[in-house]
Amino acid sequence: MQLILRYFLLSVTMLPAIVTAEIKLPLPEITIPKITEEVQRETDSDQDFQPAMPHAKVGPIYPIYYARKKKEGWVDLTFSVEKDGSISNVLVTNDSGGAQFVTEAIKAINRWKYKPALEFKQPVQSNIHNQRLTFKFDRDKKIREKVYEFYMQGLEFIEAHDRDGMDEIYEQINDLNFRKYGEKDFADVYTLNYASHIDDSDLYLSTLKNIELVSIIVTFPDLWAELAMEKVKLLAEDHKLAEALSLLNHIEAENSKTIEQTRLLSSREQLNQYIESDIDLVIDGKTNKLGIWQHHLARNHFAITNLEGKLESLDIRCDNTRRLIDIDGNSEWQIPKKWRNCVLYFQSEKSAQFTLIEFATRKIV
């Protein structure tokens, strides 16, 4: 944490310019997390399966109403690629707010084309395709002056050990309505500094848990790798081991000079040992504002317990298989090992929370 904080205090980074079409309402930039496309291809050692490859992508149309209001945002989606390369089963998993952003994002994704995945040299449906589409303008001032001034003033208060000033900035910067893409990153980075300085580990961990690495890599590129490594550790502590491994792959693919190769190898070895251990993985789950909770499976035998609320369905999406399950009274499942690299999407009409257990190999019959 101390290494990260030294970077925090030395790094003051504004958002880089974005290349947009020369029209009155510019097309938004599409941000594609490498963790879900490029890294997966690099780390897949099974030659019997070849992931789908992007063939043609188009950007979403910026909603006119939001453009006039200078409203920016993002939409996270997951989808399947069919045997003919077309898109299906589009599911919005999260968004920054704005129904028109969601509508245009779905329209854009449905126009994309892929070269289909191959299994034993035959086309198959593939289902692990996660994308974030961002809607933002090319602008001279990358974030509002108010956000930047709060951030800079807060760092000055931290360096001066001015507790009253730090407290005031913490309240002010987190009370803002973040209208421009990337503004929340400045609030989060300041909050991490603040929490560390006042020794508030709960605030530090809760902020780290919710920080958006997909935008931090743009707004604070010098901090991203260290923050990502901190998040790998946090994911492991929360028993989200497959997600931690995926993030580790992403860090390695970025070739960050701040992370030594031995550190990456050690982390990977520890995660794999944990996955293969006889310890059951216990994960807290809670559906978000869209009624969705997702989890990347490390094992193929799992169950839910301590359910509060009602779950409508379970959407299991794997590299080569998809199953939509009506939960009803079922609470335990075991999926075939040939279902590769699976992600669970629990869906509820209203908020629901529960405990997910991934059973150790010794319990698989």
Encode pLDDT of 76-103 as tens digits: 999 999 999 999 999 999 999 999 999 9
pLDDT of residue 10: 33
- Over residues 254-281, the mean pLDDT reads 92
Give the DSSP H/E element, type plus range, for residue 117. Answer: strand 117-119
Residue 334: Cβ-neighbour burial (10 angstroms; 0-12, 13-18, 19+)? middle
CA dihedral 263, 268, 273, 276 (to 10 degrees): 170
Q: Is the pLDDT of residue 352 over 90?
A: yes
Contact 85, 114 (CB under 8 A): yes
- Over residues 256-271, the mean pLDDT reads 90
Choose among 77, 56, 66, 80: nearest CA to 28: 66
- Over residues 187-208, the mean pLDDT reads 96
Q: pLDDT for 102-138, tens place per residue?
A: 999 999 999 999 999 999 999 999 999 999 999 988 7
Residue 362: Cβ-neighbour burial (10 angstroms; 0-12, 13-18, 19+)? exposed
Q: Is the pLDDT of residue 257 over 70?
A: yes
> Would you list the DSSP string of 29-41?
PEE--GGGTHHHH
* Beta-ladder partners of 88: 80
- For 291, phi and psi rounded to 5 degrees? 75, 30
Predicted TM-score of the model (pTM)? 0.82
Contact 106, 74 (CB under 8 A): no
Higher pLDDT, 17 or 8: 8
Q: Is the pLDDT of residue 21 over 90?
A: no
Chain-wide mean pLDDT for the chain?
85
Confidence of residue 364 (pLDDT cuts 50, 70, 90): very low
Q: Is the pLDDT of residue 306 over 50?
A: yes
Q: Tokens 């208060």 identify what position?
A: 157
pLDDT of residue 137: 83
Strand order in the sheet with 343-347: 292-296, 343-347, 313-317, 322-326
Q: Tokens 């070739």 identify what position?
A: 255
pLDDT of residue 140: 52
> Would you list the DSSP string of 151-212?
HHHHHHHHHTT-HHHHHHHHHHHHTS---STTHHHHHHHHHHHHHHHTT-HHHHHHHHHH--
- Over residues 49-57, the mean pLDDT reads 92
User: What are the C-alpha distances in Å from 281 to residues 148, 151, 294, 297, 355?
Assistant: 41, 39, 15, 10, 10
Q: How far apart are CA 319 and CA 84, in angstroms?
A: 16
Q: How far apart are CA 132 and CA 75, in angstroms?
A: 6
Q: Is the pLDDT of residue 31 over 50?
A: no
3-state SS assignment for residue 286 = strand
Q: Is the pLDDT of residue 202 over 90?
A: yes
pLDDT of residue 46: 54
Contact 351, 287 (CB under 8 A): yes
Q: How far apart are CA 256 and CA 221, in angstroms?
A: 10
Contact 29, 16 (CB under 8 A): no
Q: Is the pLDDT of residue 35 over 70?
A: no
Higher pLDDT, 333 or 143: 333
Residue 193: Cβ-neighbour burial (10 angstroms; 0-12, 13-18, 19+)? buried
- Over residues 1-18, the mean pLDDT reads 36
Neighbours of 8 (CB within 10 A): 22
Q: How far apart are CA 74 and CA 318, in angstroms?
A: 25
pLDDT of residue 41: 41
User: What are the C-alpha distances in Å from 6 to residues 9, 222, 361?
Assistant: 5, 11, 42
DSSP code of 361? G
* Beta-ladder partners of 114: 54
**Domains of the chain (ranges, CATH numbers):** 2-14+143-275 (1.25.40), 30-135 (3.30.2420.10), 281-363 (2.60.120)
pLDDT of residue 38: 39
- Over residues 267-282, the mean pLDDT reads 96
